[in-house]
Amino acid sequence: MNTHQIALHQMLGNTSRFAEINKAKFSDLPLFADYVTRLSKLVADIGTDSQILDVSTVGITKNKDVAKTRLVERTMDAVKCIKAYASINGNHELLSKVNFKENTLGKIHQAELSFKCKELIGIANTLLPELSAFGLTQELLEDVETAIQAYDMKSTIKPQHKGAIKAARLTIDKYFQEALSLVKDKMDPLVELIKKSDPDTYTSYKYARSIVYLPVRSVALKGKILDSISGSPIKGVQVTICQSITDSAKNGINNGKIVKKSARQGGFHVQSLNSGQFELMAIKEGYEEQRQQIYINEGESTAIQINMKPVNLG
């Protein structure tokens, strides 16, 4: 929900709760109790459907892109070996099958890309004894096959909530329209009837009916940390952020560090940062340390993605 809807939802909830707690004071107002019951139901329904809006599908696309990049890189490593072999041996038929560049492979549609990579690995497996002299190893082929499996898995994940999010927005709008109409056209006119006989209750109701816009804290930096091979989010990464010495001096602050830990889905965020250049370091056991330069513009939110490479224990 947007800021306005959040404020409206809060107001509607306050109004229904106040009316329920003080139902005895409204007992003489015709149908007022029925209106309160319906309002309470609408408030609850808005809250339930708003949870669907919190589900993001952005991570699905990012994970797929990481898996695709990994697959293309490792496949091209194998293709270079095959190209060298075909050129030296004058095998023009084989050369025609592998005579393409990395950006060409990257533009292929997902189903066709997977098929093409499997076809190339099939050729490489057949010629492995001859290709070994050109740098192709069984380990590389297994790495490509793993990348194909990871890409296929990520490609089959669909943004299941996309349709649900659209439906939830429409439903929430409908609930808001009904709830606001109920309060403005039904409940408010009835409450006016007790303005003179019970001014305290009347004033309290009006207070509950007021819309309050709470200040929203902006997020200066949002990050996502993924495994560079599998594309899976990494939990528990220690992220250290500190402003560069030059920008620290310019802003008249000390070069203090901000330390965060990535959550279950690999995310982390920092609510407020000075504008300027920052140095970010990501550390987790089993992964290579990652360092990155980022720049924060005043009043803007910066989003970054960090791909961490697992340590080769072999």
Tell me: the pLDDT tens digits for 235-252?
Answer: 999 999 987 644 443 443
Note the pLDDT of residue 42.
94
98-129 pLDDT, tens digit each: 887 777 777 777 678 888 888 888 888 888 88
Note the pLDDT of residue 298.
61
Assess contact for 46 and 172: CB atoms under 8 A: yes
More confident residue, 161 or 15: 15
CB-neighbour burial class of residue 63 (10 A; exposed 0-12, middle 13-18, buried 19+): buried
Percent of the chain with pLDDT over 70: 83
Rounded average pLDDT over 31-58:
81
**DSSP symbol at 241:** E
137-178 pLDDT, tens digit each: 888 888 888 888 888 877 665 554 566 677 888 899 999 999
Distance CA 211, CA 10 (A): 8
More confident residue, 2 or 139: 139
Distance CA 110, CA 156 (A): 10
62-96 pLDDT, tens digit each: 567 778 888 888 888 888 899 899 899 999 888 88
Element (H, E) at 226: strand 221-227
User: Would the pLDDT of 284 be above 60?
Assistant: yes
Note the pLDDT of residue 111.
74
Assess contact for 241 and 280: CB atoms under 8 A: yes
Rounded average pLDDT over 272-291:
87
Distance CA 260, CA 311 (A): 22
Rounded average pLDDT over 274-297:
86
Note the pLDDT of residue 58.
45
Structure token pair of residue 206: 């009006």
Rounded average pLDDT over 279-289:
92
pLDDT tier, 213 (very low <50, low <70, confident <90, very high otherwise): low
Assess contact for 284 and 238: CB atoms under 8 A: yes
CB-neighbour burial class of residue 28 (10 A; exposed 0-12, middle 13-18, buried 19+): exposed
Question: Mean of the per-residue pLDDT values for the chain?
Answer: 82
At residue 57, φ and ψ (nearest 5 deg) are: -105, 5
Note the pLDDT of residue 210.
86
Rounded average pLDDT over 32-36:
95
Note the pLDDT of residue 256.
61
Note the pLDDT of residue 313.
58
User: Would the pLDDT of 191 be above 80?
Assistant: yes
User: Would the pLDDT of 56 be above 50?
Assistant: no
Note the pLDDT of residue 160.
46
Distance CA 150, CA 144 (A): 10
Which ranges of the chain would DSSP assign to H, the alpha helix?
3-21, 32-53, 58-88, 92-98, 102-106, 110-126, 128-131, 138-156, 162-181, 188-191, 199-208, 245-251
Rounded average pLDDT over 202-218:
74
- For the ranges 101-105, 235-239, 265-269, 275-279, the one whose mean pLDDT is highest: 235-239
